[in-house]
């Protein structure tokens, strides 16, 4: 298998971090590494738990000193993974919303030649648990609206479980993304719409975070700016 690094922003995950890492390390891949990205927002012993796994040689705790939130941690993690020679990069949630056991289908799709692999909650074989109705409506409605405005044709435009050939991310100006919150996943899918991509089913378990009205209005504002911003992120297109 090509060298694959999982990037996962984490914060206050002390209770579950060890279990997540154990399940990833139990997968049948010797060339699979995990980069949990943490910042000052985390107040418990999540960092200590991560560092206790570094002796395996497959886990590296990444501290993002200049973090501006979860999206900046994703992008910082991508940069570190690229610097460390990743050939493939997987993005997933570190709080238990995504199942480590579903990682193989992302690797298999990349091995089949796809540039990007999108986890989808709304295709056959997928599922969602503990997600309140309003969140489901926002996610499905956001996908419909995004497809209409952006000309994309995906079943899920907002899932945070995805994978890339490293060449795709290294060709982007990651510092020029507009989104700092929930809209980031849609922004990434839009910029990659002309690449070879596929959706795979995932089972998503919602966490305890709430979605604020301000986040929704900010997402709508950014949605209508993506086409104008595309050349800043994808300069070679």
Gap between the Cα atoms of 135 and 121, Å rounded: 12
Gap between the Cα atoms of 36 and 132, Å rounded: 27
What pLDDT was estimated at residue 216? 76
- The per-residue pLDDT of the chain, averaged, comes to 93
What pLDDT was estimated at residue 211? 54
Those residues whose C-beta lies under 8 Å from the C-beta of residue 96, and which sit 6 or more positions away, are 13, 16, 19, 20, 205, 207
Share of the chain above pLDDT 90, in %: 84
Q: Is the pLDDT of residue 209 over 80?
A: no
Gap between the Cα atoms of 61 and 220, Å rounded: 34
Rounded average pLDDT over 173-192: 95
Q: Is the pLDDT of residue 196 over 90?
A: yes
Q: Is the pLDDT of residue 25 over 80?
A: yes
The answer to whether 92 touches 61, Cβ cutoff 8 Å, is no
Q: Is the pLDDT of residue 15 over 70?
A: yes
H helices, E strands: number in the chain: 9, 9
What pLDDT was estimated at residue 142? 87
Q: How many C-beta atoms surround the C-beta of residue 1 within 10 A?
A: 13
At the fourth CATH level, the homologous superfamily of domain 4-233 is Spore Coat Polysaccharide Biosynthesis Protein SpsA; Chain A (3.90.550.10)
Predicted confidence (pLDDT) per residue in 3-14, tens digit: 999 999 999 999
Gap between the Cα atoms of 124 and 22, Å rounded: 28
Who has greater pLDDT, 128 or 32? 32
Gap between the Cα atoms of 215 and 180, Å rounded: 10
Predicted confidence (pLDDT) per residue in 86-119, tens digit: 999 999 999 999 999 999 999 999 999 999 999 9
Rounded average pLDDT over 31-47: 96
Rounded average pLDDT over 71-76: 96
Predicted confidence (pLDDT) per residue in 217-228, tens digit: 888 899 999 999
Residues 108-130 as b/e (b if ≥16 CB within 10 A, e otherwise) read ebbeeebbbbbbbbbeeebebee
Gap between the Cα atoms of 41 and 64, Å rounded: 10
Where exactly are the structural domains of the chain? 4-233
Gap between the Cα atoms of 55 and 65, Å rounded: 23
């Amino acid at each position: 298998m090509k060298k694959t690094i999982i990037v996962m922003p984490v914060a206050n995950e002390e209770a579950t971090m060890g279990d997540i890492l154990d399940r990833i390390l139990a997968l049948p891949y010797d060339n699979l590494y995990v980069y949990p990205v943490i910042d000052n927002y985390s107040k418990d012993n999540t960092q200590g738990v991560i560092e206790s796994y570094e002796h395996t040689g497959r886990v590296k705790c990444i501290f993002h000193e200049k973090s501006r939130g979860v999206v900046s941690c994703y992008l910082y993690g991508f940069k570190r993974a690229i610097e460390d020679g990743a050939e493939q990069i997987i993005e997933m949630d570190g709080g238990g919303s995504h199942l480590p056991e579903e990682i193989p289908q992302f690797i298999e799709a990349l091995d089949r030649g796809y540039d990007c692999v999108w986890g989808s909650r709304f295709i056959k074989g997928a599922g969602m648990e503990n997600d309140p109705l309003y969140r489901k409506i926002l996610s499905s409605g956001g996908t419909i609206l995004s497809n209409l405005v952006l000309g994309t044709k995906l079943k899920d435009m907002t899932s945070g479980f995805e994978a890339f050939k490293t060449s795709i991310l290294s060709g982007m100006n990651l510092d020029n993304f507009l989104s700092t919150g929930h809209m980031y996943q849609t922004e990434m899918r839009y910029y990659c719409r002309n690449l070879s991509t596929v959706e795979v089913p995932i089972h998503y378990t919602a966490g305890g975070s709430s979605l604020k009205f301000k986040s929704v209005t900010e997402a709508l504002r950014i949605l209508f700016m993506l086409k104008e911003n595309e050349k800043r992120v994808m300069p070679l297109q």
